[in-house]
């Protein structure tokens, strides 16, 4: 058996500062952010992004940009909590927050994990159906759920991380190829990526995009993933080094997710909106894509959707397992029976709900809106914990970080109020 040289590798198995290869040091920290990233390039994103692109062209690209900037902040704070306290978000809430709000946070968080898993498993099933039309979506959903349960049950975290990174890479490659095929209007795409535009007809889709990018389960997942990496600094300098490299990992991963999400909207705008086609089903998107952009584009669409569904279902299951066991004060390791119960209680109800769904595309969009509505109940405890000196000590958030978290959280609450107002028949 090969042994690690302590003068080269630190206690995290990562090249230490004395290593002459700084790139190797950085690469050693890459992983947790990409594990989380797949959660916001999932089938729910596909549904909302394709709906946005087909109905409103490039005009909602700014929502993807804004959502990702908010995501970078909040995912970094989740990882920040994990590094400083050695606890995941669920464990932190249980230990430091009163029982009644803790129960509300916990129940709603598990509901969000199930809503997420529903979208992910359904997306994988649709991907299978696109590539193999003779397989019914509900049968494909059962197969996908069983496969994901087995994948989580029998794999170690390090193996899962490598699998997820491979899936993200494959999804990115498929969309790069599709962008080359469809030749979008890059000027319009660049303008709308930073120029806000919103109307009563687009608020529902904009909220769905927000819920599909800034996701509750990902905030629970990121701090849990940090635990699996055992990123806990023994000294103040070591902790600062961990936080610095974690932020680089988070920033790089979220920017990759931004590019992939933007590519989804751009492809839909260039193919469907340009030809006056409003997409109401992912299978319709695939079928329509074939005559407009060619058979290769359709195949790439199906493969990327399948990869996105399987990988994001995996991270949803991991998030559900960690959230469940963490709120109960039990072990959050993948091998823990409490973790496995939480994983099953996330994936199996999601699979059963799919069996009763008639409109799969609408189900994907509504699931993302549900996540957006629950999001403040995840943001609030994370905000309270990371600004608390009792919890974070010298690494508690200062006024700038706390202000940014508060402003972005209030923006989401405001957008939720607009959404409910519109659902009730209001106009603006």
Averaged pLDDT, 111-130: 90
What was the pLDDT predicted at 119? 86
Identify which has the larger pLDDT, 202 or 391.
Answer: 391
CATH no. for 35-423: 1.20.1740.10
Instruction: Decide if pLDDT at 424 tops 70.
Output: no
Split at pLDDT 50, 70, 90, the class of 427 is low
What was the pLDDT predicted at 347? 96
Identify which has the larger pLDDT, 20 or 349.
Answer: 349
pLDDT digits (tens, 9 = 90+) for 248-293: 889 998 999 899 899 989 988 988 888 888 876 766 666 666 666 6
pLDDT digits (tens, 9 = 90+) for 47-84: 788 889 999 999 999 999 998 998 899 999 999 999 99
Split at pLDDT 50, 70, 90, the class of 5 is very low
What was the pLDDT predicted at 321? 94
What was the pLDDT predicted at 22? 63
What was the pLDDT predicted at 7? 37
Identify which has the larger pLDDT, 31 or 390.
Answer: 390
What was the pLDDT predicted at 286? 66
Share of residues in the chain with pLDDT > 70 (%): 84
Averaged pLDDT, 163-168: 84
Averaged pLDDT, 18-28: 58
Split at pLDDT 50, 70, 90, the class of 2 is very low
Averaged pLDDT, 313-321: 93
Q: Where are the domains of the chain?
A: 35-423
Instruction: Decide if pLDDT at 367 tops 80.
Output: no
pLDDT digits (tens, 9 = 90+) for 192-233: 999 888 887 888 788 778 766 778 888 999 888 887 776 666
What was the pLDDT predicted at 284? 66
Looking at every residue in the chain, the average pLDDT score rounds to 83
Please write down the HEC assignment for all residues of the chain: CCCCCCCCECCCCCECCCCCCHHHHHHHHCCHHHHHHHHHCCHHHHHHHHHHHHHHCCCCHHHHHHHHHHHHHHHHHHHHHHHHHCCCHHHHHHHHCCHHHHHHHHHHHHHHHHHHHHHHHHHHHHHHHHHCCCCCHHHHHHHHHHHHHHHHHHCCHHHHHHHHHHHHHHHHHHHHHHHHHHCCCHHHHHHHHHCCCCCCCCHHHHHHHHHHHCCHHHHHHHHHHHHHHCCCCCCHHHHHHHHHHHHHHHHHHHHHHHHHHHHHHHHHHHHCHHHCCCCCCHHHHHHHHHHHHCHHHHHHHHHHHHHHHHHHHHHHHHHHHHHHHHHCCCCCCCCCHHHHHHHHHHHHHHHHHHCCCCCHHHHHHHHHHHHHHHHHHHHHHHHHHHCCHHHHHHHCCCHHHHHHHHHHHHHHHHHHHHHHHHHCCCCC
């Amino acid at each position: 058996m090969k042994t690690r040289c302590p003068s080269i590798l630190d206690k995290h198995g990562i090249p230490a500062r004395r290593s002459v290869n700084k790139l190797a040091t950085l690469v050693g920290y890459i992983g947790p952010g990409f594990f989380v990233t797949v959660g916001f390039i999932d089938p729910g994103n596909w549904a909302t992004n394709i709906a946005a692109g087909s109905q409103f062209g490039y005009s909602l690209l700014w929502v993807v940009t804004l959502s990702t900037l908010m995501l970078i902040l909040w995912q970094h704070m989740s990882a920040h909590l994990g590094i400083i306290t050695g606890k995941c978000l669920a464990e932190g809430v249980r230990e430091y927050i009163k029982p009644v709000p803790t129960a509300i946070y916990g129940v709603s968080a598990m509901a969000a994990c199930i809503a997420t898993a529903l979208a992910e498993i359904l997306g994988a099933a649709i991907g299978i159906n696109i590539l193999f039309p003779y397989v019914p979506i509900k049968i494909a959903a059962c197969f996908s759920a069983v496969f994901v349960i087995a994948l989580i049950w029998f794999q170690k975290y390090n193996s899962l991380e490598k699998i997820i990174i491979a899936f993200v890479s494959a999804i990115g490659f498929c969309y790069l190829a599709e962008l080359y095929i469809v030749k979008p209007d890059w000027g319009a795409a660049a303008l709308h990526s930073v120029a806000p535009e919103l109307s009563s007809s687009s608020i529902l889709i904009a909220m769905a995009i927000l819920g599909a990018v800034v996701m509750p389960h990902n905030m629970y997942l990121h701090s849990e993933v940090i635990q699996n990496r055992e990123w806990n600094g023994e000294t103040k300098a070591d902790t600062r080094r961990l936080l610095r490299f974690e932020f680089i990992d988070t920033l790089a991963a979220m920017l990759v997710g931004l590019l992939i999400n933007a590519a989804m909207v751009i492809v839909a705008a260039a193919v469907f909106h340009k030809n006056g086609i409003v997409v109401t089903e992912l299978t319709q998107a695939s079928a329509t894509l074939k005559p407009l952009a060619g058979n290769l584009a359709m195949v790439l669409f199906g493969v990327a959707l399948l990869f996105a569904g399987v990988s994001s279902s995996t991270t949803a299951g991991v998030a559900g397992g960690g959230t469940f066991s963490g709120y109960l004060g039990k072990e959050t390791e993948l091998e823990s029976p409490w973790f496995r119960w939480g994983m099953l209680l996330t994936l199996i109800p999601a699979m059963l709900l799919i069996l009763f769904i008639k409109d799969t595309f609408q189900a994907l969009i509504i699931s993302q809106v549900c996540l957006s509505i629950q999001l403040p109940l995840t943001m609030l405890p994370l905000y309270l914990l990371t600004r608390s000196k009792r919890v974070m000590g010298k690494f508690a958030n200062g006024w700038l970080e706390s202000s940014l978290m508060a402003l972005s959280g209030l923006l989401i609450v405001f957008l939720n109020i607009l959404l409910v107002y519109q659902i009730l028949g209001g106009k603006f």
